[in-house]
Amino acid sequence: MALSRGRHRADRAQLRTTAAPGCLPAPVADSGRPPPAPAAQQPEPEARPAGNDTFEVADAPFDAPTIGAVERRPHAARLPSAAGWSSAGIALDAGRAGPYWVSAGSVVGRGHAWAGSTRQDSYALAFSEGGSSLVLAVADGLGSRSRSQLGARHLAAAVAREFVTAEQEPAAPDDEVLLLEAITRAQNELTEVWAPAYGVADTRALACTLAVVVLPADLGTRPVLAARVGDSTVFTATDAESEPFEAVFPLGDGPINLVSASLPAAGFRDDIEIRHLDPAAFSKLILCTDGVADDVYESPGVRAWLARRWQRPCTERWMLESLGYARAGSQDDRTAVVVWLRPDAGPARPPDAGEEADGAD
């Protein structure tokens, strides 16, 4: 299934579209050249460094592509001023989790970095010793909420922890019931413990979206469970050269970055979307926030880049550069958690790929 979506997004500056009357516009491959700006185009965030912005900032060499008219300006980044409320600009992990390999990365977006605001995305995983499941979660704090990064941070961690803790109980219910109960306990912890601890009186300030995957330790015992509330999402993936990514959840009919549901919410069971997946149909799962999902949907160049980068299990440094592409209009935080279901069965590394330093053995 082709992932390109036809709906227009205001900051989609590099994606040209063609459409017949009455039809949704069909994406055309990234041209590397900016098209005429649509009327509603959102401008690139203005870089406002605290002083003279003509100095240079040293950076490591990288191969990540630039798609569209994007100027890389590392000197334009500003540190968040409220250190006690802030998250680090980058979070990375990679390694074995039971029978799986997981690589995770979360990077502050250009829009946040240039404005001096914090990264609002978070991820978490839990796999208890002797447990029967690996639980992965990503959460994206709502940009309009003042403490949403705290909600994302604590909710993702609590959902993963609560699930693996509850499944150890005798006569534990099935995965779907366990997950619903884990989310209930996690958001209760967020509102009753963490909100008072941070001095947050209105828990709406902690609002975030959530995507969760539950992988059985033995893939032959039960399906993979995927769930989400809001616009964080999940893709399955194979090593196919053409359209390797498959969306688990429908795209919907509204604007690509319009959040229709979030947590904490008393009625979240009316909004949660749940899918049961056959692990024989794919070799990888990708959980991501909308900052990555939007680029995967809209940009053939990003899809090709990430498909090539994530063919094999990878290290933290490899994950960081994978998320280091620049794309016109892509300003949000980027968070992706990639899990290889059968890490020993991936494609052989091309002999001249030049990737030996960062590939995971």
- pLDDT tens digits, residue range 94-151? 999 989 999 999 999 888 777 778 899 999 999 977 778 999 999 999 866 678 999 9
- pLDDT tens digits, residue range 183-192? 999 999 999 9
CA–CA gap between residue 330 and residue 300 (Å, rounded): 14
SS3 category, 100: strand
CA–CA gap between residue 103 and residue 80 (Å, rounded): 26
CA–CA gap between residue 78 and residue 117 (Å, rounded): 8
Task: Of 105, 89, 86, 197, give the one whose Cα is nearest residue 148.
Answer: 86
- pLDDT tens digits, residue range 236-294? 998 876 678 999 998 865 555 566 799 999 999 999 999 999 999 999 999 999 999 99
CA–CA gap between residue 349 and residue 74 (Å, rounded): 32
Three-state SS annotation for 226-256: EEEECCCEEEEECCCCCCCEEECCCCCCCCC
Domains identified in the chain and CATH numbers? 86-343 (3.60.40.10)
Residue keyed to tokens 């990639």: 338
Task: Of 279, 287, 304, give the one whose Cα is nearest residue 338.
Answer: 287
Distance of CA 2 to the CA centre of its chain: 19
- pLDDT tens digits, residue range 219-249? 988 999 999 999 999 999 988 766 789 999 9
Q: Do 246 and 4 meet the contact criterion of CB atoms below 8 Å apart?
A: no
Distance of CA 146 to the CA centre of its chain: 20
